[in-house]
Amino acid sequence: MAKIFRTHILVSIDPETLLSGAKGIYEKFKKEVEASKLSNEVMVAETGNLGISNKGVVVVVYPEGVIYVNVKADDVTKIMNEHIIKGRIVKDLVFSGEKVSGSSVKMELPKQNRVVLKGSGEVDPESLEEYIGIGGYEGLGKVLFEMKPQDVIDAVKKSGLRGRGGAGFPTGLKWSFTAPLQGEKYVICNADEGEPGTFKDRLIMEGVPFRLIEGMTIAGYAIGASKGFIYIRGEYALSIEKVNKAIETARKNNLLGKNILESTFSFDIEVRKGAGAYVCGEETSLIESMEGKRGNPRNKPPFPGVKGFRMNPSVVNNVETLANVPAIAVNGADWYKKLGTEKCPGTKVFTLMGDILYPGLIEVEMGTTLKDVVYKFGGGIKEGKKFKAALIGGAAGAFISEKGLDVKMDFDSLGEWAAVLGSGAVLVMSEDRDPVETLNSILEFFKHESCGKCSPCRIGTKRLELISKDIMKGRATEGDWETMKELSYTMKLTSFCPLGQSPYIPISSFSKYLEDDMKKNLNK
C-alpha cells in the first residue's frame, strides 16, 4: 500500500530551473525534512514544469497548492519553519500571480483545462505509480481488451484530433492510410522541436513522459506497428533522460515489449537523437536523419505513411498530438469534441514569451482568443504597456497587430487572418518594440538553417537576409521592401520543402498588419 503524506513539496525540474540550482534546492529540502524528523509526514519529490518561466527555482507545496518562485538555498529553511511546521505561507516568495489573504490562496490566473499537461507539476515524472494514479494507462488497457485496431482509428477520426506540430492534418485519417498496409510498420514521434521560442514538447516529455509512451503504444496498436521511435533533438538532454527512464520502467512493468499486459500485442520504443537541424522537423528530413543520412527532405509522394523509415510504412506524429490519444481512448470521441471548436476540437499548448507578465506554458481550449491568451493567461503586458503585436507560430508564423486581438486561436480562425497556429509559440511585443528587428531575426534564422538542397531557398534566404540588414541600417527603399515580398512569394511557390516556403508568412503578415512600422525604416 502506498504511503500517505500530509504534505508534498514538489520541486520543478527543467533545464531552466536546473540552471538556477533546482537540484540543490531539492536536496536541501530532503535534508531539512529528515533533520526535522518529518520524513513520515512530508514527501519531497521532483516534478515537471508548472508552466512558469523566468522565475528561478519553482516549488509547489500541497495540499495548499502554494507556488513559491525564485527560491534560494536560504529560503528552504524559511519555508520549512514557517509553512511546513507552523502552517504560515511565506508571502514574499509566493508566485506573483497569486493573492494571499491569511492562510488562503487565490489564483489570479484562470484555471487551465489540461488534457496533455495533466499531472505536470503535480506528479513525479519518473513514477509509474503516480502516473497511474492520475488515470495513466487506462486508455491502453481499454484499447487492448475492449477495442479492435479499426475501432481506435475510428475513435481518433471521430474526435477530430488534428496534428499539433503545425500542419493540423487529421490524425485518424493519417493512421488510416498506414493501417491496411502489410509488412513492418513504425510509429515515429517527432520531438525535434526546432522552432524558435517553442518548448511545449520538451516540457510534455519532462513532465509526463509516460503519457507520450502510452499514446505511441496505442498508435502502434491501431496501425499494426511493432516498433516506435522518438526522435529528440540532442540539446534536449533532460527530455532524453526522462523519456529513456520512462521507457525502461514501462518495459519492466510489461507496458512495453512482448505481449503487453499479457495481450497478443507487442510493441517497443527507442529514442533516436537528432543533431539540431531545423529542417529535420520536416518528417521526411527527420526520417533521412534517422537512417544516418544528411537531414534533407525527400520527394513526396510517396509519403511516409506508405514508404517512410527504411522504406516501410511509418506514421509520424508530433509529441503533443500523441499525448492527446490516451484521453480520447478513455473518455471517447464525443467527450473530446466538447472541448475547443467544432472544426478544431480539443486543447492547445502554447508557449508565451516576450513582453508578457507571466511567460511560460499554458494549455487552453482551441478557439480561445488571442486577447485571452495574452491578458487572461499571460497576465497582460509588462509595466502596463500597450500591446503592439504578436508573432504566432514561431519563426514560420505570422504577425498579428492589435486589430487581431479578438482572433480565435485555432487552425481555421487564424487561417482567415492569413496566419497559422504553427508550433504554438506566441511572442508578445509591447509598444516599445520595433517588430522590424524581430523580422530581421527570423530571416537570419532561415538563412542559417537552410539545408541548401534547392536554389530558391539556398539563394533566397540569403537575399532576404541581406535586404533585411539594409532595412535595419536605414539603407533600403520601398522598392527593396517590395522585392522582399515578391521574392518570399516566389520562394513559397518554388522551394522544395516548408523551410524555403516559410519566410512568406511572416513577411506577408508584416506587410498586412505592420506596414507603417516598416515604412519608418525605409528611405523615400
Write out pLDDT tens, residues 464-495.
999 999 999 889 999 999 999 999 999 999 99
Contact 107, 98 (CB under 8 A): yes
Which run of H or E residues covers position 271? strand 268-274
101 pLDDT above the threshold of 50: no
Q: What pLDDT shows up at residue 276? A: 81
Which pLDDT does position 524 carry in this prediction?
58
87 pLDDT more than 50:
yes
pLDDT at 321 over 80: yes
Average pLDDT over residues 218-232: 98
C-alpha cell at 4: 500517505
Query: Strand ranges (DSSP E) for 73-211?
Result: 98-101, 104-107, 186-191
pLDDT at 73 over 80: yes
Q: What is the mean pLDDT of the chain?
A: 92
pLDDT band, very low/low/confident/very high, at 194 (cuts 50, 70, 90):
confident
How large is the average pLDDT for residues 496-515?
Answer: 93
Confidence band, pLDDT 50/70/90 cuts, at residue 259: very high
Reply yes or no on whether the pLDDT at 99 is more than 60. no
- Whole-angstrom distance, CA of residue 326 vs CA of residue 77: 40
User: Could you tell me which residues come within 8 angstroms of residue 223 by beta carbon, excluding any fewer than 6 positions away?
Assistant: 149, 153, 175, 178, 179, 185, 187, 313, 315
Q: Give residue-wise pLDDT tens across range 370-428.
A: 999 999 999 999 998 999 999 999 898 999 999 999 999 999 898 888 788 888 999 99
pLDDT > 70 fraction of the chain, expressed in percent and rounded = 97
Residues contacting residue 182 through CB under 8 Å, at least 6 positions apart:
none
Q: Where residue 433 falls among pLDDT bands split at 50, 70, 90?
A: very high
Cβ-based burial of 166 (10 A; exposed 0-12, middle 13-18, buried ≥19): buried
- pLDDT tens by residue, 330-355: 999 999 999 999 999 999 999 999 99
Predicted TM-score (pTM) of the model is 0.92
Sign of CA dihedral 178, 287, 203, 412: negative
For the chain, domains (ranges, CATH) are: 7-107 (3.40.30.10), 128-337 (3.40.50.11540), 347-430 (3.10.20.600), 435-519 (1.20.1440.230)
Q: How far apart are CA 277 and CA 296, in angstroms?
A: 10
The one-letter amino acid at 123: V
- At 109-157, the pLDDT tens digits run 568 889 999 999 899 999 999 999 999 999 999 999 999 999 999 999 9
Q: How confident is residue 102, by pLDDT bands cut at 50, 70 and 90?
A: very low
pLDDT for 97:
53
- Is the confidence at residue 504, as pLDDT, over 70? yes
Structure confidence by residue, pLDDT tens digits, 5-22: 889 999 999 999 999 999
Given a cut of 70, whether residue 281 has pLDDT beyond it is: yes
